[in-house]
Copies of this chain bind each other. A is one copy, B any other.
Amino acid sequence: MIWQNKSMAPESLLLAAKRILLITHIAPDGDAIGGLLALGHALRRLGKEVMLSCSDIVPKRFFYLPGYPAIVNQASGPFDLIVSLDCSDLRRVGSLYRADEWREIPFLNIDHHVTNTRFGTLNWVEPSCVATSELVLDLCDRLGVTVDADIARCLLYGILGDTQGLRTDNVTPALLGKVMRLLEAGAPPLAQVMDQIFSRRPFNLIRAWEKTLETMQLDAERGVVWAFLTRQARCESGWPDTDLQGMSNFLITADEASLAAVFVEKDDGRVEVGMRARAGYDVARIALSFGGGGHPQAAGCEMDGPLEVAVAQVVAALKSHI
């Protein structure tokens, strides 16, 4: 079968397919949705039948991106190719995943996470890329699809999202060249996209930040700062989501911090953990040891409760890392 050729180029798989399922990860971020939509636009231009899917409902902040209403929470085939975007392992696919049905279908795994488990039949994993959206830009060229304004907007959103607005240490002159290219292809002005991603948040999210910051602690000697949000405090703040959208990025700005962690108690009592590290430190390893993954400077995991046990375990690991 075609998909057994592991050396095949990703564009060849896509060009050979007719009915393609594109999926991205649970708790989707801007790169997940931006990359998903951009590749969807590109494949439709090639006449492909495309279904876009994510286990979680698309958060409202992504309604800025053209094509979001097409994203569904269920995948109903048949498909002759499945493509995952920005998923470092199969669990990140969430409730969409159908082991039995999908076993017989070629599976193209497109991702930039260094911790990617290579679960696809073809794995196109480029940890040197800042975002899956950067890979999708490359893929548009490989597919011969002209990057139009819609694709450019989605990809710029993804790249800015995953680089914290061009602030991560993997931003090179070459990446800036790609950003220039997206702007020239008709993406909205950089300021507008930056504003959409970084300068807007619901009032109740700010309340949730405040409830989290109330619990903030610093081990100044070891440079570890952490904070948590209980389910009850989250309810009181009126913020329904467990994604605090940048809280851990904010904590790591503390001059005294080399490592930061934010813990959010889910409705089912499990705990989502976001970790951040300054350059020279690595939280991906720690996240991995708790069943998660990510990048050296930004990683995460999900743990069993109770909250206080998860906090104690991760904080201990962070302290011993230093």
Contacts and interface: CB of A to CB of B under 8 A. Distances in A.
How many chain copies? 2
A255 to B, nearest CB: 5
Nearest to A193: B167
A191 interface: yes
A173 B165 contact: no
Contacts of A74: none
Interface in A165-193: 165-173, 176-177, 179-180, 183-184, 189-192
A218 interface: yes
Contacts of A176: 176, 179-180, 183, 190
A311 to B, nearest CB: 18
Q: Is the interface of A mostly helix, strand, loop or mixed?
A: mixed
Interface residues of A, number: 46
A31 to B, nearest CB: 17
Given A165-B165, A176-B180, 14 more contacts: A165-B166, A169-B192, A171-B189, A173-B183, A173-B184, A176-B183, A192-B279, A199-B252, A202-B256, A203-B218, A206-B251, A206-B253, A209-B213, A210-B213
13 contacts: A166-B166, A167-B191, A168-B191, A169-B189, A176-B179, A176-B183, A199-B253, A203-B255, A206-B216, A206-B251, A206-B253, A210-B216, A214-B214
